[in-house]
Structure 1
Amino acid sequence: MSGRLVRVGYAQTLHYLLFGVRAVQFRCSRPALGARHWPVFGVPGQSVALTIDDGPHPEWTPRMLDLLARHRIRATFFLVGARVRERPDLARRILAAGHVLGNHSMSHPQPFAALPAPSVRTEIAATQREIEDATGVEPRLFRAPGGNWSRDVLRATAESGLVPVDWTVNPSDWRSPGVDRITRSLCRSRAGHVLLCHDGGGDRSQTVAALEAALPRLLDRGLRFVIPAAAGR
């Protein structure tokens, strides 16, 4: 069996094991705040963190920013380097709106953990350069594409001086399962949870509509929206 097939099999196994990890973190009274070689799954206090992946996108990112501005919510946008290269203006707009920029790899390859270690480092480093060139700010947070972590991925993240960030609430909005389903999933969030949504990679109209419905409900419950690992304070 080739080395590539071995790495893919390993990555797929990790992918499914992480479903179980996230289920445990979701049920914990306080999800893990992370460590050098362990991703952030939670945030402290009476807070949640909204994270938005796969952008920037010329249609959905501006709509997401307008929505967040109306509710005065600060989020973390995990950006794909190749998309930042195409639309550096949107990366700057996200930053100017008060949000935090995170690294989500250069080309979003999957399964990410199947990449050779040098390729993982290149994906991370190239995105750091793209975001810094576009905005003048170097990200401090990293999310592996698909949440596909491995020892090599976590090691490369740490060596790059980045904090690995995962999630506890995943409405699978990238599948476009319907506004009601996404809304219900987001509304299950409670203090400590990290929420995952997307503004890139496809039609995100359902995500925007679901957040419009869910965010006021979460705010009404007294939840504050913060940044994982207090990055960008």
Structure 2
Amino acid sequence: MSNRINSITIIVIILIITGSYFNLTSLYYLIPIIILYIIVNIMGSTSIGLNYYFHSYSNASTTKKDIAITFDDGPHPHITPKLIELLDSHNVKATFFCIGKNVRAHPNIVVDIIDKGHLVGNHSYRHSKFFDLLSSKNMQKEMVETNQILESITGKSPKLFRPPFGITNPMLRKAISRTNMVSVGWSLRLFDTVKDPKNVIAKLVTNTKPGDVVLFHDTNKNILEIVEEYLLWLKKNDYKIVSLTSLLNIEAYED
């Protein structure tokens, strides 16, 4: 968070001043400090669970075997409807972080998501690879546009926002503050879009723990196989899938 950033900046300044006092301002002294500062900021930006620039809800502190499952990047015209059917057959509720342009293209799927009792969150309008390079105003524009589309379709304005790629920075901190949204991360990510399903399932059953927020993608053709196996394993091992809002004690929509 901002206090943490300020503390690190102050430490760097103190080191530079100290080096100057002792005539250690050569490149041999400054370069390691600058490199360390850059590395720390990159780690903070790319690791959403560290809450480096602002707080994100990424898991719950609990001993109860409760978890929440989430899906990013949809809705997909073919995969998401099948996924909804699968979840419904297991009486499981999830949260779908939707991309605005996909919502605009497939509004009926979003309606079905809501009708089946799932939650919908905001995942930006375009999910650009360069989202983290946008100005805070342009980030805010994408967030607002996505919420407006979702509200026009569902009658609900989401409060939950998941940053594209989980990357955070000071610009996004401003955008989230201006839109009064809540950032949601994850505690278990298996890269289900690029890895073999068996590998993903093996890591899921090895790494799942109470309070996890699990990240999947409903744009991956293998997701049905992965989720089916995972749901069966969770039931066998006495895990309970609860809503994201219940697990994290947050609100999904504006009043």
Instruction: Figure out how many residues of one structure are paired with residues of the other and give that number.
Output: 209
Tell me if the contact between 1:112 and 1:146 (Cα under 8 Å) persists in the aligned partners.
no
Tell me if the contact between 1:38 and 1:154 (Cα under 8 Å) persists in the aligned partners.
no
Match of 2:211 among 178, 192, 211: 192
CA distance in 2, matches of 1:117, 1:190: 35
Match of 1:37 among 40, 54, 77: 54
CA shift digits 1:144-202 (9 cap, x unpaired)? 11011112213312321211001111110121x111011122222111111000012xx
The residue type equivalent to 2:229 in the other structure is: A
Tell me if the contact between 1:14 and 1:148 (Cα under 8 Å) persists in the aligned partners.
no
CA distance in 1, matches of 2:39, 2:98: 23
Tell me if the contact between 2:192 and 2:223 (Cα under 8 Å) persists in the aligned partners.
yes
Tell me if the contact between 1:64 and 1:208 (Cα under 8 Å) persists in the aligned partners.
yes
| 5+ long unaligned stretches in structure 1 | 1-10, 26-33
Is 1:169 aligned to residue 188 of structure 2? yes
Residue range with higher mean Cα deviation, 149-158 or 130-139: 149-158
Aligned twin of 2:123: 104
CA distance in 2, matches of 1:126, 1:87: 16
Tell me if the contact between 1:12 and 1:111 (Cα under 8 Å) persists in the aligned partners.
no
Percent of aligned pairs with the same residue? 27
Do the aligned partners of residues 88 and 137 (structure 1) sit closer, same or farther apart at CA in structure 2, a change above 3 Å counting?
A: same
Residue range with higher mean Cα deviation, 38-47 or 65-74: 38-47
Measured on the aligned residues, the alpha-carbon RMSD in Å equals 2.5
CA distance in 2, matches of 1:134, 1:89: 8
| 5+ long unaligned stretches in structure 2 | 1-37
CA shift digits 1:4-39 (9 cap, x unpaired)? xxxxxxx998665456565xx7xxxxxxxx8x9310
Is 1:141 aligned to residue 157 of structure 2? no
Match of 1:77 among 74, 85, 96: 96
What is the TM-score with the length of structure 2 in the denominator?
A: 0.75
Aligned twin of 1:56: 75
The CA deviation at 1:231 is 2.9
Whichever of the two has the greater Rg, that structure is 2
What is the TM-score with the length of structure 1 in the denominator?
A: 0.81
Tell me if the contact between 1:37 and 1:155 (Cα under 8 Å) persists in the aligned partners.
no
Aligned twin of 2:34: none
Do the aligned partners of residues 152 and 218 (structure 1) sit closer, same or farther apart at CA in structure 2, a change above 3 Å counting?
A: same
CA distance in 2, matches of 1:70, 1:129: 31
Is 1:231 aligned to residue 251 of structure 2? yes
Is 1:182 aligned to residue 193 of structure 2? no
3-state DSSP of counterpart to 1:164: strand
